[in-house]
Chains A and B, each alone.
Chain A
Amino acid sequence: MSQVKMTVNGKEMSGEAEGRTLLSQFLRETLGLTGTHVGCDTSQCGACVVHVDGVAVKSCTMLAMEADGADVATIEGQAAADGTLNALQQAFQDHHGLQCGFCTPGMIMSAADLLKTNPQPTEAEVRHHLEGNICRCTGYHNIVKAIMAASGQDVSSIAAE
């Protein structure tokens, strides 16, 4: 076991990790940040996406030790301190972009990554970007719509709320 330190959502945090401890496991079990979810063990589902030094990463594919000293952003840090949702989170609520909520943290973190580099993505670009995020509830309809709405695009012509 070794001591691992990182900045998570702006706060210095640390804990013990084995060499094999995954970043997702470290966040959830050692730091108690259970908003990051684990939905598979082959790095397909994307429920565990976080940002490490500004880059979207599937935290199940990174060892906790690799993130030693890194700046990590998770779903818990996305809303304002008073709980006000950020624009992307709010768009997901406004457009019913989530049902069971399990894939949602990864969807939000992945979509935030897209909007950082492509502030007004097309439908096809959104769908392509979500290749690594599986949702079983929504048929993606309202997720894609929410992400486009969050980017300031008019989604009122897209069928059904």
Chain B
Amino acid sequence: MPKDHGIGASPKRREDVRFLSGTGNYTDDIQINGQAYVHFLRSDIAHAKIRSIDTTAAAAMPGVVRIFTGADFEGIGGIPCGWQVTDRHGEPMQEPAHPVLAQGKVRYVGDQIAAVVADTIEQARDAAEAIDVDLEELPAVVDMKAALEESAPKVHDDLTSNLCYDWGFVEENKPAVDAAFEAAAHVTTLELRNNRLIANPMEPRVAIGDFNRATGDSTLYTTSQNPHVIRLLMGAFVLGIPEHKLRVVAPDVGGGFGTKIFHYAEEAFCTFAAKSLNRAVKWTSTRSEAFISDAHGRDHVTKIELALDADNNFTALRTDTHANMGAYLSTFAPSVPTWLHGTLMAGNYKTPLIYVNVKAVFTNTVPVDAYRGAGRPEATYQLERLIDKAALELGVDPIALRRQNFITEFPYATPVAVEYDTGDYHGTMDALECMADISGFEARRKESEARGKLRGFGVNCYIEACGIAPSNLVGQLGARAGLYESATVRVNATGGIVVMTGSHSHGQGHETSFPQVIAEMIGIDESMVEIEHGDTANTPMGMGTYGSRSIAVGGSAMVRATEKIIAKAKKIAAHLMEASEADIELKDGAFSVAGTDKSVAWGDVTLAAYVPHNYPLEDIEPGLEETAFYDPANFTYPSGAYACEVEVDPDTGKVTIEAFNAADDFGNIINPMIVDGQVHGGIGQGIGQALLENASYDENGQLLSASYMDYAMPRASDVPFFGVDHSSQTPCTHNPLGVKGCGEAGAIGSPPAVVNAVVDALRSGGHDVTHIDMPVSPSRVWQAMNG
């Protein structure tokens, strides 16, 4: 019988009512009296020297308030990077300046040259067309390997080359890894590309800067997953505004998927311009603009090799990856191909020796940063495609090969510096095999073949590291931030509770799931708990929502604060009942004295805290409000096994997803309905990556897929209903809820299953295909079949 409240129940989402009735409050819905609008004039050339910018005619056009160029930002900080990677020789990465508006050069199509502020957006756009920009076009570099050639044009003239860093992990392991390859009975090698993607949350980015001359306070309304991070980065590193004079508000946010983590130039511009003009300044991205200004994701080119012994045990793994950084370092870009990728290369397997090499490269393209999964999908895709290829070469069953090499004992210290606390990889694979009806596959294949279609089955496992992260660890790895989370639990006099959290909900349903935890702990109804998030003015400093960290880190902070509340409330209850504090028990919203029938209700205790007439004032203060900052002891390690069944039309190469099943281990689960929804969405995006999506540049640095007419987003007809199972639960051992996080799993676990299935389908038709790069589009499939 499913629970009807508290942890493990699936109450309907309370935030839905406003979203379903058109009364949400997204950033673009905010209008500030007298606001002006900004339009950014962006470069349509990938690489050029700015000879001159003449704004005279444009400035005289109707409604124009002021036109800003890079010159207005001289002496003002650039957009900072939040993570410094150290290369394999112990040297820091090359880190270029990233001005708010271009200075001297433009480095990608979309780079901001000038910003026109006007009374209306139409006037701003009209005036931008009248700006006379003289650009001297320079050769652009788009391909990563070409960018590393001696003769390549340099994206940044003041850097020694286009190499951001050459990272080796674990560098000391390299000789042993190489020796294991020498000794291997079999080596499987695969070269592949993890296609460049664009996150495309449905709400485009928006920023509104506001300034109050009376108080000298600045406010930024922005579409962010982490308003406190933006306040710190923008305030301290760009504009020099201390946090107490700067408020950042991220209200309802229409999806993020990583690309709304980062601090963007438009945010700094609007805040700066509002202060300069003493007038609110609003920017709303168009979708066309989003394609060339939101940070992109993925874009890795990898050669991966697996060494096996004569019994098919994995003995070593070696990878060589080029990772595209784009033209500048976005906020967390350097960490994605390194610490979020290399540390996961062990996957679910007890490979004893691993060496990962990553060369991060500057190109004349939009900056690349974290997108749902961030590094972990890249690791999973390489490894799980490679294992399928090894199984093929060895003539063994791909599931059996995986099972043979599974890690089965926990905790498990991998050779890539992380320790998995719990997992049950056979358990999730068992669940998957049951769901996917493998025994019925041959009959389904025959049925497809009878209709002239090829049918394939693909499976893969995944492991991810969520709940980022222990601050002292990530500090050692180069993070320029702590990665704790915070919560203030404010109990009101009449017993209702407001939780102010540093986590941010932009689709995850925190307003519903967080109260479930508190309701469970105190034994009160969820309706007595409200969640406040997204406004630095009324939430404690917190690091926000990404990396599936909200419930694991933010939820843990909330638990810690609630524990403090309960401890204090017990003291008050003990006083009210003239009992010993040690004898007080809290159950179902009432405090009782063990072994007696004495009891006081939750509301009586909370009232006493605020009306302290009969109160232990000599021992404790009045009031009932506590804050906790929770810094995790380790990452969490969700894992799972996914299966995809496809049908391929041999005449056209079109792939249809016939079935997709996912068995995940997320540890304990707060709200199963929300968890299922997160997995569905992740699978949708993973299928998008595998079949449809590709951010494609031409050799001159023009983005060819720069609208929804060219960038193929999954539509409802591209996906089936999904099978989702999370019956296999090995709780996390180091956070108080035993939770692991579920936001990224679907996007991490699904692409290899799709490609494995397509390869299987083609081979069943007699085609000697071992790999097809994503997206597995009809043309690529047709070419693979027809040479």
Contact = CB atoms under 8 A, between A and B. Distances in A.
Bound pair: A and B? yes
Interface of A: 18, 20, 28-29, 33-42, 44-45, 47, 74-76, 78-79, 83, 85, 89, 92-94, 96, 98-105, 108, 123-124, 126-128, 130-131, 133-145, 158-161
Given A139-B687, A141-B719, 6 more contacts: A39-B203, A83-B21, A96-B673, A101-B20, A102-B202, A108-B20
Interface centre among B19, B122, B288 (most CB of A within 10 A): B19
Contact of B746 (A89, A128, A139, A160): A139
Contact of A140 (B13, B674, B719): B719
The 7 A-B pairs at the shortest CB distance, nearest first, are namely: A35-B22, A139-B684, A101-B19, A102-B254, A100-B507, A44-B708, A75-B22
Interface string B706-725: 01110001111101011110
Contact of B202 (A93, A96, A100): A100
B257 A136 contact: yes
B16 interface: yes
A161 B673 contact: yes
A136 B713 contact: yes
Contacts of A85: 17, 20-21
Contacts of B687: 139
B722 A74 contact: no
B287 A45 contact: yes
Contacts of B722: 139, 141, 159-160
B723 to A, nearest CB: 5
Given A104-B19, A160-B722, A136 B676 contact: no
B506 A100 contact: yes
A140 B713 CA distance: 12
Interface band, chain B = 35 or more
Nearest to A126: B716
A41 B715 contact: no
B16 A143 contact: no
B54 interface: no
Interface in B244-291: 252-255, 257, 286-288
A121 B709 CA distance: 27
Interface in B190-233: 200-204
B719 A139 contact: yes
18 contacts: A35-B21, A35-B22, A38-B28, A39-B203, A42-B287, A78-B21, A89-B20, A92-B16, A99-B507, A99-B677, A100-B19, A101-B15, A102-B201, A123-B721, A124-B717, A134-B708, A134-B713, A141-B677
A86 to B, nearest CB: 9
B23 interface: yes
B680 A131 contact: no
A101 B507 contact: yes
B716 A131 contact: yes
A114 B506 CA distance: 28
A77 B598 CA distance: 52
Nearest to A33: B22
A151 to B, nearest CB: 15
B777 interface: no
B676 A161 contact: yes
Contacts of A76: 21-23
B612 interface: no
Contacts of B719: 139-141
B221 to A, nearest CB: 14
B255 A105 contact: no
B36 interface: no
Given A99-B507, A140-B719, A37 B203 contact: yes
B622 interface: no
B595 to A, nearest CB: 42
Contacts of A92: 16, 20
B767 interface: no
A137 B707 contact: no
A97 B201 CA distance: 16
Contacts of B68: none
A128 B28 CA distance: 30
B10 interface: yes
A138 B677 contact: yes
Given A93-B17, A93-B20, A99-B681, A140 B716 contact: yes
B680 A138 contact: yes
Nearest to B12: A93
A29 B202 CA distance: 19
Interface centre among B254, B506, B685, B687 (most CB of A within 10 A): B254
B509 interface: yes
A40 to B, nearest CB: 4
Contacts of A93: 12-13, 16-17, 20
